[in-house]
Amino acid sequence: MCGIAGTIGFADRALLEKMTDVIYHRGPDDGGIELFEQKTPVGFGFRRLAIIDLSPLGHQPMFNADGSLCIIFNGEIYNYKEIKAELLKKGYAFKSATDTEVILHAYAEWGFECPRRLRGMWAFAIYDARRDAVFISRDRLGEKPLYFARLSNNRLIFASEVKSILQSPEVPRQIEPDGILSTLFFLWTPEPKTAFKGIEKLPAGCNLIVQNGEATIERYWDITFEGYGEDKGERAYVEELDALLRKTVKEQMVADVKVGAFLSGGLDSSLVAALMTKEKGEPITTYTIAFTEEDKKFEAMPDDQKYAKLVAKHLGADYREIVIKPDIVELLPKMIHHLDEPIADPASINTYLICKLAKESGTTVMLSGMGADEIFAGYRKHLSVKVASLYKRIPSFARSGVIEPLVQALPVASESGGYRATRWAKKFLKAASLPDFDAFIGNYSYYNASEMAELLSPDFREACYKSHDECYPIRRHYELREEFLKRKPNLDLVTLMCAVDTKCFLASLNLAYSDKSSMAASVEERVPLVDFKVVEFAHRLPERYKLSGLTQKHLLKKVAERYLPKEIVYRPKAPFGAPLRAWVKKDLDALIQDCLSEEQINRRGIFNAKAVRDIIARDKAGKEDNAHRIWALLTLELWTRHFIDQSL
Angle 384-262-161 from CA coordinates, rounded to 5°:
85
C-alpha 248/C-alpha 527 separation (Å) is: 9
* CA separation for the pair 564, 569 (Å, rounded): 7
Contact 108, 69 (CB under 8 A): yes
The contacts of residue 29 (CB under 8 Å, 6+ apart) are 48, 49, 50, 54
What Cα–Cα distance (Å) separates residue 161 from each residue in 232, 307, 371, 621, 644? 43, 36, 22, 39, 16
Beta-carbon contacts of 377 under 8 Å, excluding residues fewer than 6 positions away, are 383, 494, 497, 498, 546, 547, 552, 553
Cα separation of 354 and 288, whole Å?
A: 7
Q: Can you spell out the DSSP letters for 344-401? A: --THHHHHHHHHHHHHHTT--EEE--TTHHHHTT-SHHHHHHHHHHHHTTS-HHHIII
Q: For 415, which DSSP code? A: S
Burial label, 273 (beta-carbon count in 10 A; 0-12, 13-18, 19+): buried
CA distances (Å), origin 443, targets 249, 254, 403: 33, 39, 18
Please report which residue ranges of 488-588 form alpha helices under DSSP H: 493-500, 511-520, 532-538, 554-560, 566-569, 580-582
Any catalytic annotation for residue 504?
A: no
CA 431 – CA 538 distance, rounded (Å): 27
Q: Which of 2, 471, 504, 595 is catalytic?
A: 2
CA distance 514 to 271: 19
C-alpha angle 189-192-195 in degrees, rounded to nearest 5: 45
Running DSSP on this structure, what letter comes out for residue 585?
I
Quick one: CA dihedral 591, 597, 601, 604, positive or negative?
A: negative
Neighbours of 544 (CB within 10 A): 15
Angle formed at CA 643 by CA 641 and CA 646, multiple of 5 degrees:
60
Q: Give phi and psi for 275, each to the nearest 5.
A: -70, -35
For the annotated catalytic residues, the residue numbers are: 2
